Structure 1
């Protein structure tokens, strides 16, 4: 005897996931809210398999829940949040968001209008690798911005004269300058001529010439 089709919807968040499974007549046969955790995701898989679900409706085509479902062999169908909001009217809802009700809407919309929705295609190995590289790059950029802001704060308090000498604080020439002249006392050794020689020795090819404020000039060399 052929099994009766079943359909599932998941309304997910970073805290918990509402799961609803309906039968071929649109009757709820399972409804539960589970935490966003490895055991919670495992329980979702168990319930889906117990009721013979093959397709799962969800509001977005990426994220940890989608990755988990595809990895466990389920077909994921995207029904956007905007579409879910419109579909609530079909059931007489006032439009207020309710996680469990939205999970039911996703499951029932999958039951009645399967052909309307886009199926998520699993990523290729190349796409997964590229995504990891992009995430790593974003993490590095965030770290660089954080370190830049920390350095700027330190200089504003201890060595404001070093701010604005070059186009950016975190480029090579700026960092080389701070390594060589980390304090106002060491920078005080610089004259216009010495600054010009130092810039030339460091391969500086900017558009600005070497003059610096006379208040930072002195004739005594900095400490070794």
Structure 2
């Protein structure tokens, strides 16, 4: 036993003599491995923290969008209640109604709130007379029936706030545009507010 122990010690000494740089190299390898593991652990922790932060922000944005959607839905239902209970909503009544809704002072997230009745093609002249009843310059429903023949229209009659920008939308037939028409058809079928797909507003030069 003693002889074997001495032999092992002798071999270790010879290894150190034959490979004098072995221990420093071994230490370097161990330190490098520890460093790599530490860096990996730190990076993994940062990735997990970033993912958690993104998740929190996404949840906050989702909640904000849902609150805005619920608010907009409430405004739409209030407008529907007004027009379903009044025989005639005049140009004087609608602005007063909108002011009572206590909308955000700058209409944050929306250009405004408006009303577009369903109009048959043979009622178009009567509608345009109503649209221009209290206006200096005449407005026509657009697109015209010559440009786009159709039987049903939903031209915008009222739009608040009454700004030059929003007046551009008056008379525009939203039902003439496929994306808006799809949303309106779904809303009518489901009897509930329905968001349309992306559109360019008339106020921005779209149609």
TM-score by length of 1: 0.22
- Which structure has the larger Rg? 2
> Which protein has greater RCO, CA pairs closer than 8 Å, 6+ apart?
1
TM-score by length of 2: 0.24
Structure with higher strand content:
1
Structure with higher helix content:
2
